[in-house]
Structure 1
Amino acid sequence: MLNPYNTNLPPDLRSLKEEIEGYARGYGLDFFETIFEVIDADDLNEIAAYGGFPTRYPHWSFGMSYEELRKGYDYGLSKIYEMVINNDPCYAYLMRSNHVVDQKLVMSHVFGHCDFFKNNAYFAHTSRKMMDEMANHGARIRRYVEKYGEDEVEKFMDRCMSIDDLIDVHSVAIRRREPASRYDFTPKPEEGDEVHGTRFKSKDYMDDYINPRAVLKAEEDERRKQQEQAARNFPERPEKDVLLFLIEHAPLKGWQRDMLEIIRDEAYYFAPQGMTKVLNEGWACLLSGSLIYTNRGLLPIDEVVERRLPVKVHDGEGYRRVYDWAKFEDRETIRVKTRRGLELEGSATHQLLLPDGSWRRLADLHAGDQVTIGGRSNLWPKKYVRVAWKSKAFSGLLGVGVGMVAAVGGVATIDESTTKYVKPYIFGFRRPIRVPPVVDEECGAFLGYIIGDGHISIVKRTIGLTTGDDEQADHFISLVERLFTLQPRKKRDGGKWRISFSSANLADFLIHLGLKTGVCARQKTVPDAILRSPKSVVGAFLRSLYDCDGYAGKAGVILSTSSTEMSKTVQLLLLNFGILSRRRPHKDGCWHIHTMGRAAAVFLKEIGFGLERKQNALRAYVGGHKWFKEQPWDDEIVSIERRRADVYDISVEGTHRYAAQGFINHNSYWHSTIMTQKALDPSEVIDFADHHSGTMAMQRTRINPYKLGIELLRDIEERWNTGRFGKEYDECEDLDRRRSWDLKLGLGRQKIFEVRRIHNDITFIDTFLTPEFCVRHGFFTYAYQEQAGQYIIESREFEKVKQRLLFSLTNFGKPWIYVVDGNFRNRGELLLRHQHNGVDLRLDQASDVLTNLQAIWSRPVHLQTLVEGKPTMLSFDGTDHTIKTGGETDDPRRNAPAKTR
């Protein structure tokens, strides 16, 4: 048991708490007194292992959780930043070693959670003194351990915890039944409860014809028979709260019954948090250097954040503006690699788009999972990159630009005042050159040649290219002459041409653009100027690069490079053209970027080769296929690594997603205004309160809860601010009028607080999801098509989309199990029924649960379900597990649970 903690905050944190609490209350949030505990990492891991409570009952699972958390923290793999407990007062924990920005974010999150705990209807039944109750539960179970032995108590606790989700989460608000006795099968009817047939109103002389005695008698007998049968049923109706049924009717000892009640009480306490799940760590962040497709080029995310660039990005469907930026230091990160060679590293909570349209956190990905590839954005800068280089010596000495250097070199007379400066550069070893004012297509082609088969030698003071193709040699020479007014030397060396020239100024210029010198095959990179250039310039660069190091033939198109970074960047550039490729190491020590099939046809159309022989080979490859197999834009995760690093985040308007590093990424809507202590507008209360938690779906359903929740809440706020609800709006058929509809009601904030108060995940979506919302945000249902080998859109119909969402949220994605007979076969056996919703049970887990249920019930236990569409009965009698297939009486479809009251 942990010692009580000192709840006195240091002055700096106390001041911060008062400030953020003031913001919260100022915008209408209402919460219990909130106590922040400042504790060390080890203590926080211990509390987290106990589910957030300092004192719990003893069980090995808590120790296992603690060891996992402790080792994760010690090895730098994980760290807990926030934990808040539903209690009065609310308790929240701050790690002593957190940065100030972390403490700000934790506090802003906590007050939003506390408001939700206090005001949401689904938390109304929960104990507000759960800290004390958890401690009391622990004390009671410890007494049982002392009295009955640790092994006996722990064994029974294991059985109880394995079925702790077999409860009826809605029973706290709906009266399902009256308490019934296990043995009183035929209760005597109360006075006035006689059974009568249905009599119709009639005149006396017509009564014998309208209400025949024989018919009334037969109806009375049938109703009486039904009532007697219902009275004999045990339970009278199928019951979903299996734990309650066991507590009331299982042959348990007093201490066992008490322990089962403890497990059930705690399950009901935690249930609303599952029904209104909050994504506490909501940042979606990428590592420094991660490249994002923007309207200014392929830019590293750290530059976008640090310079706060208001760029446009591609979200997989269209172009969106970035409107917020953030950096978080020392975060747990996860690096994933795919079979095609794509790589991405981001925070553990960063989300990637999956082929079925759902999202998954990096922390939840596993080897073998499929992710969507982000490309085909066709988002390029529109203007050439301007060259900002100046000659180090001459330009600095005169204070003039490169243009002046070039002009002086080409005139017949020179002003006497500049002669003494100009002569050394005209007649000396550092000859002046002309450089293009912008990086255009010719400059891009030249850079592709230099990086491909070229070299820059500072020692030998030469720049050149080695090639075996006359066509390529002549093209390179013409580029040098036109771009820089230099005359290269062309020399035959065996079966190759060596083109070389000397220019210290040009070497400086190329180094300024980011090119490497000397032996640098493994350090080559795509120049930054190319990454920021229009499509035509990038195409010219890649065309020259492939002319040097590329192959075209029966295997498609292959680029070979010794540079890892070069291979990664080229693959990302190809994706922006809509070209899929596979990047993998070759036995020769190089990386191969392999493009084949339909992607090779796209390469031919968008880029192609400059060399005629390679272009002809590519045309032959493409023309030799009557058709190409469709290439799905998804990929398989093959490796996952964990570490720590600083990460960067951007906020994207509308869809909150963007293409980067070859993936479709999702950014969260984080509480930037509170973190930076800015005043909030009323319209920003959603960001502050975080009460979109009611829309969070279960992780196992593979729905993207964050996108759905925040976008739907924003939609509600906008609709109620503009009056886009009600009969008049719903009946308006003028599309232009509907789009411009604005009654300026300003009711959005009020509506958002109402949603926070009365809704959970299912009712929230059922009530507020609209066809317009689904169309605007691209909500479809997907299905896997065997013929195409990929996921395809199954339906755009609103009702189907809505039903799929609601189904995936129902019962937390867990199976519905009912007790249907506590005296099965008249032998006191227990019969359960699985309400099959299209997903089969996992038979191994079902067998384990039946084993534990049989130990508690002390008689054979049976479960009716469907396995591969066939009625199946799973049974365990205390010794053997049996599976019986077939039989109408075992078919849960024919014996569906009756609707409970």
Structure 2
Amino acid sequence: MSEHRFPDRLKLWQYEIERLAKQKGLQFPMTVFELVDIEEMSEIAAYHGFPTVPHHWRYGEESLRVKKQHRYGLGRYYELVIGTLPVYGYLMDSNSIVTQKSVIAHVIGGHAHLFANNIFNKIMDPNILNVLGNDAIHYDQYCEIYGKDRVKEFYDWALSLEFLIDQDSLFLRRTPKQLSPEERQKEFDKKRRGGRIEAREELPFYMEEFLNPKSWIEEKRKEQEEDIQKEIDIGKGLTVPRSPQKDILLFLMRYGILEQWQKEILSMMRRQSYYFSAIMRTKFMHEGWSALWEERILNEPHLMMGKFDLSTFAQEMAGVQYKSPTNPYKFAYDIWKDIEFRWNTGRHGQIWEDCETYDIRDNWDTFIVFKNILDEKSGDHKEFEQGLNEFLAFKQALFDGQLGWPKEFFVRNFFTTEIMIPAWCDYQKAFFEHKALYDRLRQMEIFEKDFESYLKEAKLSHSDDCTEEELSFEARRSLYRDLDLLDSEFYLWTIPEVKRQFAYYEKLLDFRKKFKEKQIDIPPFHVPDSWIPHALRFPGKVELGAGLKKIFEVASYYDDFVFMEEFFTKDFCERQGYFLAKQKKVWDWQTYTAKDHWVLETRAFERIRDYLLFQFTNANMPVIKVEDGNYKNNNELYLKQYHSGVDLDYWSKDGMYVKDVLERIFHIWGGDKPVHLETIIAKKEDEKPWWYSWYQTDEKKGGEIEEISGSRILYTYSKSGFEEENLGGVKFPSPF
């Protein structure tokens, strides 16, 4: 891109969207937007948003893929954002004005906020643009000094290993376990006992063979001899590393037979990998959070003033948020909304989880307010009755459309649970909010007495295609900037918005006045027998209306795995209708052949949750560690896959990928000593014939962990080529 391109009109809308985002509590750094065409976007996407990176053919390949994807309608880029300082957002110039508004809100309210506030994103280097630029300069210098072909070949090797890092090392300090001499001696004595099981009481002699079979004892003895020898070798410095090391790139940099420029290239690759691993750690949360705030910001009436603006936005959101467990724009968005809903209405904690009574669960919103009134007015029956009657009258007035919400919202209880308790929380603080809004409104009217002169200035400094409303965004911004109040509540709220809020709280206060004057009829209500025992079982008021506070807390301290583990609940799973599916042979009576057909496997929550968590474990990639850098005391490199359910790609092209990567590690290790990789090839479940009776199950996962069978395989690459050795069968727990 030769120049910065961002039209005045969009800049004005950016000011307004930033104001609305701050008004809603979002915090974000300065954000710079640029308009690009598809040719430029394909290049930017290929380079992951960075203008300068080391040259490599894969970036060109990715650029061509994006262009073809766009040309044939197989995909579309609305924007691309990178978490630097400032945040950069690239927008497609073919987007409509409505799409540009939604994308700006998506970036500012979503990605930029998480980049600045999430602890897992804060660790990313904000100066990565300069870092990658320097890497590109050094790469070009190495090509000139050491030869282009040689450097590019080594860069290819490094790319093959880009994910062999320890993603958790950014947040955890891994130190080997240090034992005192006494503790070490106890460990040795324990191992020398041969793993025998000692009976707790005296047993007949013939039970010894049953408790400690000779074959088992011999197997344990050999394992323990190996462990003891390994401990001795570690003490002598013959075994490196002391414990299995996941950061293979770092290990190769330290112990591989490499020239300095080769170590620098591995260091470049490692830097990039750690930067992107921090992004991948929260990618699921990012997209859901961004979709949530994009929707809320664009729901402001003045952002959708065009004839077809609202329908265009709704159509685009529906296209992006198609329902799929792999679509974070919908799946994570639903979880964010569910968190807010649960913490708004008290549907969390033991009081909710231990409730199995239908009368309570089906009327939870009324029950939880009843429980809080009971706790607050405990000991005073008259005060309790007065408080409960006030809530019942408030609920009826809300449903009748008397408190600022259309009564149509409560037909068939469509939005009752989402609105009622937040509205009750507003009612409880109405007096203080009403007074604060009144004072703010009076002050703003004083501040904005010169608004017209600022508006005239804005008209002179901007092009004619900007509307007066759009120019008013710049005028207000300039006015409050001159007053040094740009981050104050006075700028973040406009006078019409304050008046609208003021009118809402005025209705609430008017209702309170009528209730105290006994002008409101109290609807009849009978407290179910189960309510009081359950309320008394959990003493203390339940905090209501805390949904917004909770999602901001989650956005700051969670990553994708913990987010899914904690908030993908059984209630959410069943309400959304998630299930696991599998392929099965089905007989086709038209062609008289057995065909693969997708069938429902299970709706069991535990299995679905475990499957989803499995996708977020180690970014769904194999876990490989360095076991020994001096294997057989011969400087051979021994790698081991810790099988967590993710197989190596040993089936594609006759294992070409495994062979090629091992060969490249062999050359990086020095090209002299063999490199070994121990892995497990899992045995696939036997395919049942089409006539086999099969039924899906809704049963919960049992207490016993399912096991997967497989074979331990040792791959070796040396000067003589690639070898494969079967080390025997093995069983390991299923990840889901």
TM range (shorter): 0.5 to 0.7
1:133 to 123, 131, 134: 131
Q: Which amino acid in structure 1 is aligned with residue 121 of structure 2?
A: F
On the 8 A contact 2:29/2:87 being kept in 1, the answer is: yes
Deviation at 1:707, TM superposition (A): 4.0
Please name the residue that 2:660 is paired with: 848
Deviation at 1:749, TM superposition (A): 0.7
1:96 to 93, 96, 99: 93
d(CA) in 2 for partners of 1:809, 1:239: 21
d(CA) in 1 for partners of 2:226, 2:91: 67
Please name the residue that 1:400 is paired with: none
Please name the residue that 1:711 is paired with: 334
On the 8 A contact 1:34/1:89 being kept in 2, the answer is: yes
Structure 1 residues 871 and 66, CA, compared in 2 at 3 Å: closer, same or farther?
same
Q: Which amino acid in structure 2 is aligned with residue 861 of structure 1?
A: V
Please name the residue that 1:241 is paired with: 247
On the 8 A contact 1:864/1:892 being kept in 2, the answer is: no
On the 8 A contact 1:847/1:881 being kept in 2, the answer is: yes
d(CA) in 1 for partners of 2:605, 2:77: 39
The percentage of counterpart residues that share the same residue type is 36
d(CA) in 2 for partners of 1:800, 1:790: 21
Please name the residue that 1:250 is paired with: 256
d(CA) in 2 for partners of 1:158, 1:70: 24
Instruction: Map 1:341-740 onto structure 2 (within 5 A).
Output: 671-672=294-295, 674-675=297-298, 677-678=300-301, 703-740=326-363
Deviation at 1:669, TM superposition (A): 7.2
Structure 1 residues 673 and 709, CA, compared in 2 at 3 Å: closer, same or farther?
closer
d(CA) in 2 for partners of 1:847, 1:871: 17
**3-state SS of 1:171 partner:** helix
Please name the residue that 2:578 is paired with: 779
d(CA) in 1 for partners of 2:579, 2:34: 45
Deviation at 1:808, TM superposition (A): 2.4
Instruction: Map 1:261-272 onto structure 2 (within 5 A).
Output: 261-272=267-278
d(CA) in 2 for partners of 1:672, 1:725: 25
d(CA) in 1 for partners of 2:667, 2:603: 48
Does residue 870 (structure 1) correspond to residue 711 (structure 2)? The answer is yes
d(CA) in 2 for partners of 1:265, 1:163: 13
d(CA) in 2 for partners of 1:849, 1:224: 32
Structure 1 residues 765 and 96, CA, compared in 2 at 3 Å: closer, same or farther?
closer
On the 8 A contact 2:622/2:641 being kept in 1, the answer is: yes
Please name the residue that 2:629 is paired with: 822
Does residue 808 (structure 1) correspond to residue 606 (structure 2)? The answer is no
Please name the residue that 1:154 is paired with: 152
d(CA) in 1 for partners of 2:575, 2:285: 24
On the 8 A contact 2:54/2:139 being kept in 1, the answer is: yes
Q: Which amino acid in structure 1 is aligned with residue 623 of structure 2?
A: W
On the 8 A contact 2:165/2:247 being kept in 1, the answer is: yes
1:881 to 718, 722, 728: 722
Of Structure 1 and Structure 2, the greater strand share is in 1
Q: List per-residue Cα deviations over 1:546-570 (Å, max 9, x = no partner).
A: xxxxxxxxxxxxxxxxxxxxxxxxx
Deviation at 1:109, TM superposition (A): 1.3
**3-state SS of 2:335 partner:** helix
**3-state SS of 2:637 partner:** strand
Deviation at 1:760, TM superposition (A): 1.7
Please name the residue that 2:112 is paired with: 114
Q: List per-residue Cα deviations over 1:742-781 (Å, max 9, x = no partner).
A: 3441011111111111112211111122222222222333
Please name the residue that 2:413 is paired with: none
d(CA) in 1 for partners of 2:669, 2:149: 20
On the 8 A contact 1:855/1:878 being kept in 2, the answer is: no
Q: List per-residue Cα deviations over 1:783-813 (Å, max 9, x = no partner).
A: 4445786444444433222212111221222
Does residue 12 (structure 1) correspond to residue 18 (structure 2)? The answer is no
Q: Which amino acid in structure 2 is aligned with residue 81 of structure 1?
A: Y
d(CA) in 2 for partners of 1:248, 1:16: 52
Q: List per-residue Cα deviations over 1:142-186 (Å, max 9, x = no partner).
A: 11111111111110000101110111111111112369xxxxxxx
Q: Which amino acid in structure 1 is aligned with residue 283 of structure 2?
A: K
Structure 1 residues 779 and 75, CA, compared in 2 at 3 Å: closer, same or farther?
closer
d(CA) in 1 for partners of 2:284, 2:117: 15
On the 8 A contact 1:137/1:262 being kept in 2, the answer is: yes
Structure 1 residues 791 and 48, CA, compared in 2 at 3 Å: closer, same or farther?
closer
Q: Which amino acid in structure 1 is aligned with residue 359 of structure 2?
A: D
d(CA) in 2 for partners of 1:97, 1:736: 54
Structure 1 residues 59 and 226, CA, compared in 2 at 3 Å: closer, same or farther?
closer
Please name the residue that 1:46 is paired with: 43
Structure 1 residues 42 and 77, CA, compared in 2 at 3 Å: closer, same or farther?
same
d(CA) in 1 for partners of 2:36, 2:581: 46
Q: Which amino acid in structure 2 is aligned with residue 851 of structure 1?
A: E
Structure 1 residues 226 and 239, CA, compared in 2 at 3 Å: closer, same or farther?
closer
On the 8 A contact 2:665/2:675 being kept in 1, the answer is: yes
1:85 to 71, 77, 82: 82
Give the superposed CA RMSD.
Answer: 3.6
d(CA) in 2 for partners of 1:244, 1:851: 18
1:760 to 544, 559, 571: 559
1:62 to 59, 63, 83: 59
2:606 to 778, 799, 803: 799
On the 8 A contact 2:715/2:723 being kept in 1, the answer is: yes
Deviation at 1:836, TM superposition (A): 2.2
Does residue 276 (structure 1) correspond to residue 75 (structure 2)? The answer is no
Structure 1 residues 100 and 176, CA, compared in 2 at 3 Å: closer, same or farther?
same
Structure 1 residues 799 and 672, CA, compared in 2 at 3 Å: closer, same or farther?
closer
Structure 1 residues 115 and 669, CA, compared in 2 at 3 Å: closer, same or farther?
closer
Deviation at 1:872, TM superposition (A): 1.0
Tell me the TM-score normalised to structure 1 length: 0.47
d(CA) in 2 for partners of 1:676, 1:709: 20
d(CA) in 1 for partners of 2:585, 2:63: 44
Tell me the TM-score normalised to structure 2 length: 0.57
Please name the residue that 2:28 is paired with: 31
d(CA) in 2 for partners of 1:104, 1:151: 47
Q: Which amino acid in structure 2 is aligned with residue 67 of structure 1?
A: L
d(CA) in 1 for partners of 2:601, 2:8: 58
Structure 1 residues 768 and 825, CA, compared in 2 at 3 Å: closer, same or farther?
same
Structure 1 residues 755 and 775, CA, compared in 2 at 3 Å: closer, same or farther?
same
On the 8 A contact 1:39/1:93 being kept in 2, the answer is: yes
Structure 1 residues 802 and 673, CA, compared in 2 at 3 Å: closer, same or farther?
closer
Of Structure 1 and Structure 2, the greater helix share is in 2
Please name the residue that 2:206 is paired with: none
d(CA) in 2 for partners of 1:773, 1:95: 36
Of 66-75 and 43-52, more deviation after overlay is shown by: 66-75
d(CA) in 2 for partners of 1:247, 1:795: 47
Does residue 770 (structure 1) correspond to residue 569 (structure 2)? The answer is yes
Deviation at 1:115, TM superposition (A): 0.6
d(CA) in 2 for partners of 1:82, 1:279: 17
Deviation at 1:222, TM superposition (A): 13
For this pair of structures, how many residues does the alignment match?
A: 458
| Structure 2: runs of 5+ lacking an equivalent | 188-224, 304-312, 314-320, 369-420, 422-543, 588-595, 684-709
Does residue 259 (structure 1) correspond to residue 278 (structure 2)? The answer is no
d(CA) in 1 for partners of 2:668, 2:564: 38
